[in-house]
Amino acid sequence: MISDFKGKTAVLTGAGSGFGLECARIGAARGMNLVLVDVQQDALDAARAEMEKAGAQVLARKVDVSDAVQMEALAAAVKERFGAPHFVFNNAGVGSGGLVWENTVADWNWVLGVDLMGVVHGIRLFVPMMLEAAAKDPSYRGHVTNTASMAGLLTPPNMGIYNAAKAAVVSLTETLYQDLRLVTDQVGASLLCPYFVPTGIAASGRNRPGALADEKPTKSQIIGKAMSEKAVSSGKVTAAEVAQSVFNAMENDQFYVYSHPKALGNVKARMEGIVAGTNPADPFLERPEIGEQLRAALRSA
Ligand SMILES: NC(=O)c1ccc[n+]([C@@H]2O[C@H](COP(=O)([O-])OP(=O)(O)OC[C@H]3O[C@@H](n4cnc5c(N)ncnc54)[C@H](O)[C@@H]3O)[C@@H](O)[C@H]2O)c1
């Protein structure tokens, strides 16, 4: 739980776009020092210029969050420049779709590397620093927010890698919360689970490394990309509103942060099915046409 942000330090991954950029804007407005982390140099440069203009002290680093060594260098640089951070937003993420048996090893390595291992590195490198600061100063307060997705609470078809990565982030973050409660009352945790919000996420292939290139997308991957572009671009909630919820959650010590609470009906149906032992229900119960369209597209020649 953090209530006074002035002069505190935020580490934001994926700060060049979407939720990361919007959180940086709020952080700058509240007088925070900002560590901006992204793999896309032009987006990072633009974010740095904007935040410096807004008066923030900025450390901007081009880092691939999936890379342990780059993340270790980042953590050392943060410690040297600002000391232990107060807010760590493990948020950088990418998406890739398609039928699970069609995904390549490169697809798995890319998405699990960024979406899961990026969060793992953020936790293993920054939480010990935060705990050390908490032990030294009873007034220190810190908070870690990890970005998962509603895809981590549902199992929508044709996007298995993303679902698996985000389900792991849900589990990891709930466990982080429990583990923190064992040792401190000064460091909190939140889990951000957005539904469809217009950002750059549907174009995440723009930052896919050449070594993990997408050789030849299959039909299901092409269909999945088109559907996710449509769903994301037609979302009505803005990234700025989601970022505001992230800050509110930090102030209120609220763990789960949702962009679309209405979509939780699908989560409830899934959980009830698990408890009752019934077979998995349609994850888009309120919009059965989505599943119909997908079935029709995949079964057509
Ligand atoms: N927008 C949505 O509808 C939605 C829904 C659910 C979850 N999410 C999650 O929200 C998070 C933020 O995504 P967004 O929607 O703001 O998308 P976005 O593409 O606008 O922003 C993501 C940022 O992460 C950066 N990034 C990508 N790979 C990286 C890497 N290896 N290292 C460092 N930075 C990297 C990108 O350059 C980009 O600036 C992601 O974890 C995403 O999975 C988004």
For the chain, what percent of residues have pLDDT higher than 90?
A: 88
User: Stretch 230-236: mean pLDDT, rounded?
Assistant: 91
Give the confidence band of 300 by pLDDT, cuts at 50, 70, 90. confident
The whole-angstrom separation of Cα 186 and Cα 55 is: 28
What is the third-level CATH fold of 9-299?
Answer: Rossmann fold (3.40.50)
35 or 215: which leads in pLDDT: 35
Q: 301 pLDDT exceeds 70?
A: no
Q: What is the pLDDT of residues 182-211, one digit of tens each?
A: 999 999 999 999 999 999 999 999 999 988
Name the phi and psi angles at 58, rounded to 5: -125, 135
Q: What is the pLDDT of residues 51-109, one digit of tens each?
A: 999 999 999 999 999 999 999 999 999 999 999 999 999 999 999 999 999 999 999 99
33 in contact with ligand 1, CB cutoff 6 A: no
3-state secondary structure of 59: strand
Give the confidence band of 284 by pLDDT, cuts at 50, 70, 90. confident
CA of 200 to the centre of ligand 1 (A): 7
* pLDDT at position 28: 98
178 or 228: which leads in pLDDT: 178
To test the pocket of ligand 1, the residue of 199, 225, 256 to mutate (highest count of ligand atoms within 8 Å of its CB) is: 199
Describe the strand order of the beta sheet including 58-62 as a list of residue ranges: 58-62, 33-38, 9-13, 87-90, 142-147, 187-193, 256-258
* pLDDT at position 2: 87
Nearest atom (ligand 1) to Cα of 67: 31
Q: 126 pLDDT exceeds 70?
A: yes
User: Stretch 156-175: mean pLDDT, rounded?
Assistant: 97
- Distances in Å between the Cα of 217 and the Cα atoms of 205, 208, 253 are 12, 14, 42
Q: 133 pLDDT exceeds 90?
A: yes
What residues are paired with 256 via a beta bridge?
191
Q: What is the pLDDT of residues 29-51, one digit of tens each?
A: 999 999 999 999 999 999 999 99
Q: 215 pLDDT exceeds 80?
A: no
Nearest atom (ligand 1) to Cα of 162: 43
* pLDDT at position 72: 98
Is residue 14 within 8 Å of 91, Cβ to Cβ? yes
64 in contact with ligand 1, CB cutoff 6 A: yes
To test the pocket of ligand 1, the residue of 25, 36, 38 to mutate (highest count of ligand atoms within 8 Å of its CB) is: 38
3-state secondary structure 103-154: CCHHHHHHHHHHHHHHHHHHHHHHHHHHHHHHHHCCCCCEEEEEECCHHHCC
Nearest atom (ligand 1) to Cα of 202: 19
Buried b (16+ CB within 10 A) or exposed e, 75-101: beebeeebebbbbbbbbbbbbbbbbbe
* pLDDT at position 103: 95
The whole-angstrom separation of Cα 151 and Cα 160 is: 9
Buried b (16+ CB within 10 A) or exposed e, 36-46: bbbbbeebbee
CA of 135 to the centre of ligand 1 (A): 33
117 in contact with ligand 1, CB cutoff 6 A: no
CA of 77 to the centre of ligand 1 (A): 23
* pLDDT at position 177: 98
Least confident of 61-70, 120-129, 163-172, 210-219: 210-219
283 in contact with ligand 1, CB cutoff 6 A: no
* pLDDT at position 163: 98
User: Stretch 130-155: mean pLDDT, rounded?
Assistant: 97
Q: Maximum Cα–Cα distance for the chain, whole Å?
A: 65
Whether 195 sits among the annotated catalytic residues: the reply is no
232 in contact with ligand 1, CB cutoff 6 A: yes
User: Helices H, strands E: what count in the chain?
Assistant: 10, 7
The whole-angstrom separation of Cα 24 and Cα 22 is: 5
Angle at 84 between CA 80 and CA 90, to 5 degrees: 105
Task: Give the burial class of 256: count Cβ atoms within 10 A of its Cβ; 0-12 exposed, 13-18 middle, 19 or more buried.
Answer: middle
User: Stretch 261-274: mean pLDDT, rounded?
Assistant: 93
User: Stretch 3-30: mean pLDDT, rounded?
Assistant: 97
Q: 25 pLDDT exceeds 80?
A: yes
Q: What is the mean pLDDT of the chain?
A: 95
The whole-angstrom separation of Cα 297 and Cα 41 is: 37
* pLDDT at position 287: 80
3-state secondary structure of 68: helix
